[in-house]
Structure 1
Amino acid sequence: MSLRSHKKTYSVSVALLMGVSVSLPVAALDFNQCLDLALKQNPQMLLAHARQAEAKGAVSAARGHLLPRLVASFSASQSNNALTVFGMKLSQRQATFSDFGANQFNPDALGVAPTGLNQPGSYHNFGTRVQLEIPIWTGGATWGRLDQARAMLEAAQSGDVMARQKLIFAVLQAYDRVIAANAGMAVADKARRAAASYVKTSRSLLTHGVLVKSDLLSAEVYLEKAEMAVESAHNAQANALDNLAMLVGWPVGQALTVGEPVQPTLPAAPLASLQSDALTRNAGIVALRHKVRAAQGGIRVARAAYLPHINAMANQEWNGSTPGNAAPSYTIGGEVTWNALDFARGGGMDRARAEREQAVAALQEAQDKLRLRVAQVWRSAREAALRVKMRALAVRQMEEAQRLVRLRYENGIETVTGLLRGQAELDQARAELVSAHYAEAVERGALLLAIGKLNPQEIVSVSNMPAAEGAPQ
Structure 2
Amino acid sequence: MRRLSPVAMAVGLISAQGMASANPVTLDFEACVETALGKNPEMTVSQQRIVQAESALAEAEASRMPQITASLTGTRSNDAMNVFGMKLGQRQATFADFGFADFDSTNPNLLSVEPDDLNHPGAHNNFNSRLEVKLPVWNGGKIGSYEDQAQAMIAAARQGDEATQQYLTFNVYKAYEGVHTARAFIDVAKQAMEAAQAYVNTTENLVEQGIVVRSELLSANVHLSEAQTHYEQALMEEQIALDNLKMLMAMDENAQIEIGARQDITLPEHTPDSLSQQAMTANPQLEALRAQTEAKRAAIAASEADKYPSFNLMARGDANDENLGFDSTSYTVAGVVSWKLTDFGVTSNRVSRARAEAEEAKAALQSKTNQTRLAVRKAWRMLKVAEKRVVSNELAVAQAEEAQRLIMKRYKGGIATMTEVLANQAQLDKARADLVKSQYEKNIQKAKLRLETGAMSLAQL
Deviant stretches of 4+, over 3 Å: 17-27
Q: Does 1:85 align with 2:88?
A: no
Q: Hey, what does 1:29 align to over in structure 2?
A: 27
Counterpart for residue 462 of structure 1 = none
Q: Is 1:305 equivalent to 2:306 in the alignment?
A: yes
Matched, 1:449 2:451: yes
- Distance, in Å, in 2 between the alignment partners of 1:18 and 1:423 is 44
Q: Which runs of 5+ in 2 are unaligned?
A: 1-8
Q: Distance in 2 between matches of 1:85 and 1:18?
A: 76
Tell me by how many angstroms 1:138 deviates: 0.3
TM-score using structure 2 length = 0.92
Partner of 1:417: 419
Matched, 1:58 2:56: yes
Matches of 2:387 and 2:100, distance apart in 1: 107
CA distance in 1, matches of 2:206, 2:17: 60
Instruction: Indicate conservation of the 8 Å contact 1:15/1:21, yes or no.
Output: no
Tell me what 1:288 maps to: 289
Q: Residue 370 of structure 2 aligns to a residue in which SS?
A: helix
Partner of 1:353: 355
Partners of 1:455 and 1:325 in 2: CA distance: 65
Residue 112 (structure 1) aligns with? 113
Contact persistence 2:24–2:258 (CA under 8 A): no
Cα distance in 2 for residues equivalent to 1:384 and 1:368? 24
Measured against aligned partners, the alpha-carbon deviations of 1:254-306 in whole angstroms (never above 9, x if no partner) come to 32221111232224211111111111111111111111111111221122122
Amino acid at match of 2:306: A
The answer to whether the 8 A contact 1:101-1:116 is kept is yes
The alignment partner of 1:28 has SS state of strand
What is the RMSD computed on CA atoms of the aligned residues?
Answer: 2.0
Instruction: Letter of the 2:316 partner, please give it.
Output: N
TM-score by length of 1: 0.90
Say if 1:15 and 1:112 are closer, same or farther in 2 by CA, change over 3 A: farther
How far apart are the structure 2 equivalents of 1:67 and 1:411? 98
Residue in structure 1 matched with residue 4 of structure 2 by the alignment: none
One-letter amino acid of the counterpart of residue 12, structure 2 = L
Report if the CA contact (8 A) 2:15-2:256 is conserved: no
Residue 253 of structure 1 corresponds to 254
Alignment deviations for residues 72-117 of structure 1 (CA, whole Å, 9 cap, x no partner): 1222221112222222111211111111111112344111121222
Is the deviation greater in 100-109 or in 444-453? Answer: 100-109
Unaligned runs of 5+ in 1: 1-12, 460-473
Aligned-partner SS, 1:274? helix
1:208-267 per-position Cα deviation (integer Å, ceiling 9, x unaligned): 222121222211111111111111111111222222222222223332221111232224
Shift in Å, 1:405? 2.0
Structure 2 Cα separation of the partners of residues 139 and 403 of structure 1: 86
SS across alignment from 2:360: helix
Structure 1 window deviating more from structure 2 (340-349 vs 223-232): it is 340-349
The question of whether the paired residues in 2 share the 8 Å contact of 1:14 and 1:20 is answered with: no
Structure 2 matches for 1:49-448, cutoff 5 A? 49-107=47-105, 108=108, 109-344=110-345, 345-448=347-450
Which one-letter code corresponds to 2:412 in the other structure? E
1:337, distance to aligned residue in structure 2 (A):
0.8
Residue identity opposite 1:16 in structure 2: G
Contact 1:264 1:458 in 2 (8 A): no
> Aligned partners of 2:162 and 2:295: how far apart in 1?
19
Shift of 1:194: 0.6
The whole-number CA distance in structure 2 between the counterparts of 1:449 and 1:383 is 19
Aligned-partner Cα distance in 2 for 1:250–1:20: 9
Q: Are the equivalent residues in 1 in contact too, given 2:24–2:257 (CA < 8 A)?
A: no
Q: Name the CA shift for 1:31/1:15 in 2 (closer, same or farther; >3 Å).
A: closer
